[in-house]
Amino acid sequence: MHSTDTIFALSSGAPPAAIGIIRISGPAAFDVVRALAGRLPEPRRASLCVLRAIETHENLDQALVLTFPAPNSATGEDLAELHLHGGRAVVRAVEAAMDAFQGVRRAEAGEFTRRSFANGRMDLNEAEGLADLLAAETEWQRRAANLMFGGAFSSAIEEWRQAVLRLSALTEAELDFSDEDDVDCQNNVIITNSCLDLRAEIMRLLATPPAEKLKDGLRVVLGGPANSGKSTLLNALVGRDAAIVSDIAGTTRDMIDVPVSVQGVALIFTDTAGLRDDSEDVIEKIGIDRSHAAIQQADILLWLGAEGAGPPHPNLIEVATKSDWSMHVAKSADAIAVSAVSGSGIAEMLDIVARTAKTLLPPPDQFAVNARQRALLAQTAESLGACNESDDWLIIAENLRQARLALDALTGRAHTEDLLDTIFGKFCVGK
């Protein structure tokens, strides 16, 4: 991968489509446009052009062409967009024409966004926010990704970074001029209190639910004894026959995961093998062991067993299934009565699950930090905390330097190529 190359890729959906948008970025982008369109349109104004093959001058398509000169473009380079008719043959013909240019090649996955980062058009957090925005399937995912992509988290990091820089300057003053009159004798108090305040602010962010819960979905496990109606309830909750239903005990032998979106929240409903102690079936016993593990790992547990028989769980919701059956198992007064046959109580059940799930996710008006970001925030907090564990100004200065390095790594000021490959490799070609 050479950053001096000019790259191109189809940035819209796969053809056939109404429009196929090819992006071109790099030093030769405008040369490609001139060669294909016969002229270079005015910047940032859509111009109707006839695109022709370089050697044969055959008409390839009639397209809208837009140009964005560097550095004020999405990638920070000269960038052009060709808005073609979205047929497969049209797109292939224009791409083939660009393949013939020296120093022009097809883009790799995430290469446009990587160039935006390299040219200072976005930082790593904004790039990750863009990736999450493209992958968002629920309203809550979209909101959190929009905040990250919009720079809300990066703005907070910059405020912390500037605060640490000011504290570093005060520390250097203590190191170099502590015996002179023009140094504020209160510097040590300011440094100590400010480090504690910054650490507390970061720890409050670390105490919020992680982004992975928002992206991957909260796990809602249906647990209970055999023949308690778990599979039937699962099918009713997700609106389709996802699990096999039978009166034969032990029908469900392994976990069945069904991802759904409820009130804009990503959930994974998990049906489990019925819990019982008298099974002689080796395979069913394995399924029961997996059921116990799934219950322990559940974010929300829908318990279909008898009152008081459920395992301890912070988010246990007792469910009274078969509420329209005269022989249904008695439950506590707080149990949610449902009938998968009539549909009674299903909407209420989903509402309760959604309301419980929302308490386990980052607020919809706040960005959510992922594992990489949380690790670096934890390093920053640790370094700030260490500033208050020593009276040696050299040690304090070093701890503040470590805090700055962690904050720089968050935005990408300090990074490794492996890290960049991992982050930008998640994008599709054309982004």
Q: What is the CATH number of the domain that holds 222?
A: 3.40.50.300
Q: Same domain, yes or no, for 189 and 244?
A: no
Count CB neighbours of 170 within 10 A: 21
pTM for the full predicted model: 0.75
The beta strand positions in 33-149, using DSSP E, are 47-52, 59-68, 79-86, 104-106
- The three-class DSSP label of residue 88 is helix
The reply to whether 197 and 317 lie within a common domain is no
In a domain? residue 72:
yes
Sign of CA dihedral 18, 24, 29, 32: negative
Q: Would you say residue 423 lies in a domain?
A: no
pLDDT tens over the chain, length 431 residues: 556 899 999 999 889 999 999 999 999 999 999 999 999 999 999 999 999 998 888 999 999 999 999 999 999 999 999 999 999 999 999 999 999 899 999 999 889 999 999 898 999 899 899 888 888 888 888 999 899 999 999 999 999 999 999 998 888 877 776 555 554 555 677 888 899 999 999 999 999 888 888 888 899 999 888 777 788 888 888 876 655 444 444 444 467 888 888 998 999 999 887 776 666 566 767 777 788 888 899 999 998 887 666 788 999 999 887 655 655 566 667 788 888 778 888 899 999 999 999 999 988 788 889 999 999 999 999 999 999 888 888 999 999 999 999 999 998 876 656 656 766 776 776 66
Residue in this structure with the two tokens 């390299």, named with its chain if needed: 118
Residue 424 inside a domain? The answer is: no
Domain count of the fold of the chain: 3
b (16+ CB within 10 A) / e for 219-244: bbbbbbbbbbbbbbbbbbbbeeebbe
**Same-domain status, 161 and 92:** no
Q: How far apart are the first and last CA of the chain?
A: 15
Q: Sign of torsion, CA 292 294 299 302? A: negative
287 and 349 both lie in a single domain: yes
Domain boundary among 120, 146, 181: 120
Distance of CA 24 to CAs 69, 104, 125, Å? 12, 9, 24
Domain range holding 189?
Answer: 126-208+368-416
Q: Are strands 59-68 and 79-86 parallel, antiparallel or unpaired?
A: antiparallel
Same-domain check for residues 384 and 338: no
Residue 156 shares a structural domain with residue 97: no
Peptide bond into 16 cis (omega under 30): yes
Beta 47-52 vs 59-68: how paired, if at all? antiparallel
Q: Among the three residues 72, 104, 120, which one is the final residue of a domain in this structure?
A: 120
Q: Coil, helix or strand for 11?
A: coil
Tokens representing 197 are: 């305040």
Do the beta carbons of residue 412 and residue 124 sit within 8 Å? yes
**Residue after which a domain boundary falls, among 340, 358, 376:** 358
Q: What CATH number has the domain bearing residue 23? A: 3.30.1360.120
Residue 431 placed within a domain: no
Q: Closest Cα partner for 70 from 61, 62, 78?
A: 78
Instruction: Identify whether 426 is part of a domain.
Output: no
Q: Which residues contact 120 (CB under 8 A, 6 or more apart)?
A: 76
| CB of 234 closer than 8 Å to CB of 350 | no
CATH number at residue 392: 1.20.120.430
What is the bridge-based pairing of β-strands 265-271 and 79-86?
unpaired
Is residue 348 one of the residues assigned to a domain? yes
Residue 425 within any structural domain of the chain: no
Same domain for 281 and 163: no
- 376 and 240 housed in the same domain: no
